[in-house]
Structure 1
Amino acid sequence: MTAPEKTAEKSTGVELTSAAAGKAAGLLAQEGRDDLALRIAVQPGGCAGLRYQLFFDDRTLDGDLIDDVEGVRLVVDKMSAPYLTGAKIDFSDTIESQGFTIDNPNAGGSCACGDSFS
């Protein structure tokens, strides 16, 4: 008898769109690094109370949740995970805006500058 196949035992709960994964993969390729993960975290700060951090990281923290999305490792620390479940990270490259965006259904409100949320 074989053991049942494990599926997504540790999931970040965050969706990384194809556009965002493609941009992250391109940035990693430019750097020539394959040891970095795209980390999203929530930290205290900003005028609304909480602030997102989105950055490339070579660390692994105890309790990290990790997903592989189109060749990009997406990592969320265990303290940030409850704030980010259901969030969607996208990348926009238009005349109006360029950069990564985070749509988070858990955010009750945000500040006027859009830099932080509650």
Structure 2
Amino acid sequence: MTTEAHTESTEATKAAPTGVILTDVAAANVKRLIAQEGRDDLRLRIAVQPGGCSGLRYQLFFDERSLDGDIVAEFDGVEVVVDRMSSPYLAGATIDFADRIDAQGFTIDNPNAQNSCACGDSFH
């Protein structure tokens, strides 16, 4: 990939209407998991809900629904959906996938989180 093409791709990713960035590794793992489900109507929904020890909790799940006000972006064939209430909390957040001895699964790096708990599941 040339530097110019990489820059254009990065700029397009940053301009995603959801405000969320899904890394290539995360997109590949989402595709793999959706394929395991045997369905082609699922999308990755990312939401913020009250709860957890820090006040707010992330929720990542597969969803076939379309809700009023949903914001949708596509990353390498994976649709990512954020509801309009969660969108301000997730603007600029990067969803990645870790497969290391100290961490495994989807991770969220959120510049909007002022504090987070040790489990990494909730934030304020």
TM-score by length of 1: 0.89
Q: Distance in 1 between matches of 2:16 and 2:100?
A: 34
Q: What is the root-mean-square deviation of aligned Cα atoms in Å?
A: 1.8
Percent identity over paired residues: 68
Structure with max Cα Rg? 1
1:117 maps onto 2:123 in alignment:
yes
Q: Is the 8 A contact 1:10 1:65 kept in 2?
A: no
Q: Deviations over 1:34-90 (max 9, x none)?
A: 101000000000111000000000111100000111111100000000000000000
Aligned partner letter, 1:70: D
1:101 to 97, 107, 112: 107
Structure 2 counterpart of 1:27: 33
- Post-superposition shift, 1:107? 0.2
- Paired residues, what number? 112
Q: Does 1:14 align with 2:12?
A: no
Q: How does 1:21-100 map to 2 (within 5 A)?
A: 21-100=27-106
Contact 1:43 1:51 in 2 (8 A): yes
Aligned residue number for residue 3 of structure 2: none
Q: Return the alpha-carbon distance in structure 2 between the equivalents of residues 69 and 14 of structure 1.
A: 10
Gaps of 5+ in 2: 1-11
Segments of structure 1 that go 5 or more residues without pairing to the other structure are 1-6
